[in-house]
Amino acid sequence: MDVSLPSREALKAQAKRMRAALADAGTAISHSAALEAVAAQYGYRDWNTAFAAARDAPRLRFQIGDTVKGRYLGQPFTGRIKAAGEAGDNWRLTLVFDEAVDVVTSAHFSNFRKQVNCTVNGQGVSPAATSDGEPQMRIFLG
């Protein structure tokens, strides 16, 4: 079975999750040991070899008028980009949804949004997260 190697960022995140899970189970390992274990899972002799073989995740370029889809606060959406600007390694975007998105999970009331401002990285994922750890925004061009 051929398993494609994820991006460097994804490999590091996998090692971090592995280390946390093992610590929760009572087995503490170093960060470097977790990186080595992830490399071994993909068939590489060590972390440096896996890191060299992996590529940085492709960086998305957002432009005004682009059609987008994704999830905002856990809710699926489609829409378009109204404003876009690079801010260092991130993007500041204004999105207009095709259909208003309910941003409240309560059964007692709703709060619909038709337009939002957000910050996302080059993969379309916001650095801000909800209380359950999920990114507030995930965007896919399309």
pLDDT at 2 over 60: no
CA distance 40 to 64: 42
- pLDDT average, residue stretch 86-103: 91
CA distance 76 to 54: 30
Output the pTM of the full model.
0.60
pLDDT at residue number 29? 94
Mean pLDDT across the chain: 88
**What does the pLDDT look like over 24-69, one tens digit per residue?**
999 999 999 999 999 998 889 999 998 888 877 667 788 999 999 9
pLDDT at residue number 60? 79
- Which of the four pLDDT bands, split at 50, 70 and 90, describes residue 101? very high
CA distance 97 to 115: 6
**What does the pLDDT look like over 107-136, one tens digit per residue?**
899 999 999 999 998 888 998 888 888 899
**Higher model confidence: residue 36 or residue 104?**
36
pLDDT at residue number 78? 96
CA distance 16 to 23: 11
